[in-house]
Amino acid sequence: MKLLIALCFVAIIGLSFAETKTYSRGCIYILGRCSRECEEGTHAYAIGCGHMTPEATCDNPNPVADTRGMICDYSACYCDPPTVRDTATNKCVPLEECPKKEGPNKEGPKQEDPKDEGPKKEEKVAEN
């Protein structure tokens, strides 16, 4: 009986010195161990084995699951809603703050083409 009490006492002391660290936002896992905690404004996204849904970005604010194949043991830090990832800065931003996309013509205002000047006025040369 004394041995049982001594073992319980040692177990309680051991547990009190053990470090228990919780990751409120989650972790990036590598080989089953937490490699790094997700930064503020993000949360852990992990799938055991299944179809991966990409992170919401400025370019794709409403991603859908990729059903072409299954992936296993994937973990990443995704932006907390309602923010999305700005791929240019790799920061989480509200969708309204995403950079505006340029149209296909990035040259600015259209310049006139010299071929399309229309009918040319003929200059009269004074004859002497």
């969708």: which residue's tokens?
A: 95
List, for residues 32-90, the tens digit of each pLDDT value.
888 999 999 999 999 889 999 999 999 999 999 999 999 998 899 999 999 999 999 99
Higher pLDDT, 111 or 12: 12
pTM of full prediction above 0.85 = no
Say which range, 16-30, 48-62, 112-126, has the weakest mean pLDDT.
Answer: 112-126
Domain assignments of the chain as residue spans, ordered by start: 32-100
Higher pLDDT, 114 or 56: 56
CATH class of the domain comprising 32-100: mainly beta
